[in-house]
A and B are shown apart, each in its own frame.
Chain A
Amino acid sequence: MNTGTAKYVINVVTRDQVGIIANVSDALFRLGGNLEALSQTVVWGWFTMIVCGTFPEDVAAGDIATAVENAGDYRAIVLPHREGGAQAPGPGEPFVVTVKGDDKPGIVRRLTRCFSEKGINIDDVWFEVHDGQFIVIFRVTMPPAVEPGDLRNELEAAARELNVSLVVRHQDIFVATNSLSVHTRPH
């Protein structure tokens, strides 16, 4: 941490509309903040973003939350950032797991339990239900200790119980068919 400054992580949730990032960044600028990372997404018309930034030492988390919430009809959670603490996923091979089928409760719960028990980190997940059919795409990192065939067998057994279709593929096949690179990482 630099002398005289403090780092914060700010989460903002609101109904999606034009100008949210402009309003929030303006409020943070007025507090003397400097943004260092930002990511946003929209689900079901709900906008959410996570912002990381550095602020003068005399700006407290509550000041930031108040400034953001006063910038519009926004809800904000602000946490102080400290280096370390997060458990970064270890090395492994990137795989993509795709599941399709009739929507019903418990599918994500069942499959993510398989990942968790094997120490497989979910790097990203995309989920959509359309006309009663759902599709979920997990991007995961499979640790070297996990045998891809074993995971595939376990997930396919779970998929049979849930009556959904599931495929496990190495991410490189998607990299090769969609980008100028062939591999996710050089061999």
Chain B
Amino acid sequence: MIPVVSAQNLGLTFSTNDGDVVALSDVNLTIEKGDFVSFIGPSGCGKTTFLRTIADLEQPTSGTLRINGQTPEDARKNRAYGYVFQAPALYPWRTIEKNIALPLEIMGHSPQQQAERIKRTMDLVNLSGFEKKYPWQLSGGMQQRASIARALAFDADLLLMDEPFGALDEIVRDHLNSELLKLWDRTQKTICFVTHSIPEAVYLSTKIVVMSPRPGRVTDIIESNLPKERPLDIRETPEFLAIAARVRDGLRAGHSYEEVV
């Protein structure tokens, strides 16, 4: 089976006025269909850059990257993934349902298809009843759910999420995390999830990619053996804590906190 994402010796160097900045260096990673992969690391470790590279929003400067066996550009043009950004980025002049319809309009779905998919994805993220509201009339958590619905609407098999709950408070975040797990279970999608929270990464993932900065590289890849059914209190079990400890070790090993500034 062709892996959903496969990176070999991937590198990305930004040229800036202050010289070159190595954002990614020698990244090797394979993501299989149905995986829930978290990318964790301190800021500047290239986790967001890697996600953007998968999405063809940045171009690698060395190595190879294949999405479903295609180049990132072809994959993007084939609408292979849905992307959830750090901010909801809902268009304020569109209602929630029109925001979710945006990718469908662009991809040329018929009005009936649009209505059917809007209904289905809004049910999926528990936003039914808010179709006619404008984004600025909803709370931050609801806005982010709407943006997830928008990414799901066109049924791409790969979902790329860049710290989607980073701006939300912990109570809302816990709630959305467990909903995200259910959603992943129901839709069988492959999810790449960037975070800087260890509990979030361990709670959600089947595979945790630990990254470290300067240059951005992968220091550890941890396969999680937690069951697929995960109530929120799984976070107190010894198995959970053991994985969390390993993630913390990986972060510490790859990163000297007494760094030079």
Whether A and B are associated in the same complex: the answer reads no
